[in-house]
Amino acid sequence: MDASTPVGLTVHEARSLLDSREVSSEELTRAALDRIGHLEERVRAFVTVTPELAISQAREADRRIAAGDSAPLTGVPMQLKDNMATRGVATTCSSRMLEGFVPPYDATVTRRLYDQAAVLVGKGNLDEFAMGSSTENSAFFPTRNPWDLDRVPGGSSGGPAAAVAASECLYSLGSDTGGSIRQPASLCGVVGLKPTYGLVSRYGLVAFASSLDQIGPITKDVADCALVLNAIAGHDPKDSTSLSVNPPNYTESLGKDLRGLRIGVPTEYFVDGMDPEVERSTRASIALLERLGAEVEETSLPHTSYALAVYYILAPSECSANLARYDGVKYGFSDQDADSMWDALERTRAQGFGPEVKRRVMLGTYALSAGYYDAFYLKAQQVRTIIRKEFQTAFERFDAIVSATSPTTAFRLGEKTADPVQMYLSDVLTLPANIAGIPGISVPSGLSKDGLPIGFQILTAALGEQTMFRIAHAFEQASDWNGQTPQL
């Protein structure tokens, strides 16, 4: 360990130092807070920093460690994306609508991490209500990519990915509706996992598109990802979409070889407009899996090209319903300077929401309206079923499907803000997994000539996380990535 930057540690490295008392949680937490203080002016990954809470949680963690009662995440400083409820700590969704909103309860994921005496150092910036791919839709400020501060970190979990890449915390949680964990993880050179739909409770996650949303870990390496998923996965009676499963210990999937595994490479995932460096890196990653003993075969998922269209009907439709609750009455921003109730509602929503959120609400309301419902929403649901079945059939032949995570490396701030469709195309390779409800992980696979991270995506059948960890870990150990971090 480099004693001057203990926050550069992974969770599992920190664990052994904490348990052997070489470092205390309070020291580790102070180091993280110092680093946040030193870097935030440039990176801006945090909407809120919680120093007092963090120090008091760290002292509690140190007591637990002293009592020999530590869990894998005890005393380890972390961040939560700012769309997950934290009792007593503002939860804004990076929206004016919820600016200053302090939830009276914890999300289940927050609770589960606190149960292990984890330490919250702050809340991560995001595209407003998780709608976007660059974090430029945050109503407060954009986050910058720690590898190149003129570039975006991806989104919508850009704050979490940037914070982990910059070692401002040891891990974070993101949410992924169409790629919002995996795409920023890819652009920031960290590991990001979207679990199977229903594996992690969404109680206390501010809803965007409920049939697609999932919470998952953003970490420095695959072993950490397994530790964090172990902590947050599992049934929750408070979330009716939560699966009734007893999750295994994902750490047990690490360190196994790949012999006998069958891996499919869908030709459609080498999309038009893919950066040639991303394509080269992806082909090299596939060759590496082959050298590790996997049987690799080209395959076809012919309905892939419809996934984007399906997503941009279903996600806005669900968002238009979910965001109807922001009416200025119960909580959040409220403009009561109006003549009538309807007028107040209109003024509240006109000022409280930013342009992308309004665009989604309008698209969704249109797709759900009488006369258009069958042509858009119903049609999209039918194509969703076809895409889901296409994956099911593919997973009869393959243990996993692999591709690039994002067609490009991190783009410049402002480069895609004027053209929403260009921005939407950033997620073509990630959103099919949300449509099908299957898990996906992004693992760093290399750096471009410009020194920008490239990510490799592994998809498996629903509840195939063990196979996913097995492949991701073997890949990580054999690749020459070696836990690189940006120079800041």
Radius of gyration of the chain (CA): 21
Q: How far apart are CA 420 and CA 285, in angstroms?
A: 31
Residue at 485: amino acid letter: T
Q: Tell the smallest beta-carbon distance from residue 174 to ligand GLN (Å).
A: 9
Q: According to CB under 6 A, which one of 176, 236, 318, 399 is a site residue for ligand GLN?
A: 176
Strands 214-219 and 171-176: antiparallel
Q: According to CB under 6 A, which one of 77, 122, 160, 178 is a site residue for ligand GLN?
A: 178
Helix (H) or strand (E) holding 218: strand 214-219
Q: Which is nearer to ligand GLN, 49 or 215 (CB)?
A: 215
Q: Which is nearer to ligand GLN, 6 or 158 (CB)?
A: 158
Query: Which 3 state secondary structure label does DSSP give 403?
Result: strand
Candidates 85-93, 171-179, 385-393, 406-414 — which segment interacts with ligand GLN by CB under 6 A?
A: 171-179
Backbone angles phi, psi at 172, to 5 degrees: -145, 170
Find out whether 87 and 103 touch, Cβ atoms under 8 Å.
yes
Paired tokens of 301:
């998922």
Q: According to CB under 6 A, which one of 108, 156, 196, 201 is a site residue for ligand GLN?
A: 156
Query: Which 3 state secondary structure label does DSSP give 18?
Result: helix
Per CB under 6 A, contacts with ligand GLN among 426-485 are: 427
Using rule CB under 6 A, residue 124 touches ligand GLN: no
Candidates 172-180, 233-241, 386-394, 443-451 — which segment interacts with ligand GLN by CB under 6 A?
A: 172-180
Q: According to CB under 6 A, which one of 177, 253, 457, 466 is a site residue for ligand GLN?
A: 177
Q: Tell the smallest beta-carbon distance from residue 179 to ligand GLN (Å).
A: 5
The residues, ordered by sequence, that sit 6+ positions from 302 with a Cβ below 8 Å of its Cβ are: 268, 390
Using rule CB under 6 A, residue 133 touches ligand GLN: yes
Residue at 333: amino acid letter: F
Using rule CB under 6 A, residue 318 touches ligand GLN: no
Q: How far apart are CA 455 and CA 447, in angstroms?
A: 9
Using rule CB under 6 A, residue 132 touches ligand GLN: yes
Using rule CB under 6 A, residue 364 touches ligand GLN: no
What is the contact mask toward ligand GLN in residues 380 to 419, using x (rule: CB under 6 A)? ----------------------------------------
Q: Which is nearer to ligand GLN, 8 or 432 (CB)?
A: 432
Find out whether 415 and 423 touch, Cβ atoms under 8 Å.
no
Using rule CB under 6 A, residue 125 touches ligand GLN: no
Nearest partner of 175 among 113, 117, 239, 131, judged by Cα: 131
Q: Tell the smallest beta-carbon distance from residue 439 to ligand GLN (Å).
A: 14
By CB under 6 A, the count of residues binding ligand GLN is 13
**Positions marked catalytic:** 81, 156, 180
Candidates 97-105, 127-135, 300-308, 364-372 — which segment interacts with ligand GLN by CB under 6 A?
A: 127-135
Candidates 90-98, 104-112, 178-186, 254-262 — which segment interacts with ligand GLN by CB under 6 A?
A: 178-186
Q: Which is nearer to ligand GLN, 125 or 133 (CB)?
A: 133
Residues paired with 401 in a beta bridge = 264, 459
Using rule CB under 6 A, residue 214 touches ligand GLN: no
Paired tokens of 419:
């053209």
Q: How far apart are CA 305 and CA 308, in angstroms?
A: 7
Alpha helices in 293-340, H assignment, sequence order: 307-322
Find out whether 372 and 366 touch, Cβ atoms under 8 Å.
yes
Nearest partner of 256 among 293, 218, 216, judged by Cα: 293
- The DSSP symbol for 165 reads H
Find out whether 221 and 191 touch, Cβ atoms under 8 Å.
yes
Q: Tell the smallest beta-carbon distance from residue 131 to ligand GLN (Å).
A: 5
Alpha helices in 127-275, H assignment, sequence order: 158-165, 182-188, 222-232
Burial class (CB in 10 A: 0-12, 13-18, 19+), 338: middle
What is the contact mask toward ligand GLN in residues 9 to 48, using x (rule: CB under 6 A)? ----------------------------------------
User: How many angstroms from the chain centroid is the CA of residue 392?
Assistant: 24
Q: How far apart are CA 56 and CA 25, in angstroms?
A: 10
Q: Tell the smallest beta-carbon distance from residue 480 to ligand GLN (Å).
A: 30
Q: Which is nearer to ligand GLN, 86 or 94 (CB)?
A: 94
Q: Which is nearer to ligand GLN, 370 or 418 (CB)?
A: 418
Q: According to CB under 6 A, which one of 118, 130, 162, 443 is a site residue for ligand GLN?
A: 130
Q: Tell the smallest beta-carbon distance from residue 426 to ligand GLN (Å).
A: 7
Q: Tell the smallest beta-carbon distance from residue 427 to ligand GLN (Å).
A: 5
Using rule CB under 6 A, residue 317 touches ligand GLN: no
Q: According to CB under 6 A, which one of 77, 179, 247, 439 is a site residue for ligand GLN?
A: 179
Helix (H) or strand (E) holding 56: helix 51-66
Q: Tell the smallest beta-carbon distance from residue 101 to ligand GLN (Å).
A: 19
State the residues that interact with ligand GLN by CB under 6 A. 130-133, 156, 176-180, 208, 315, 427
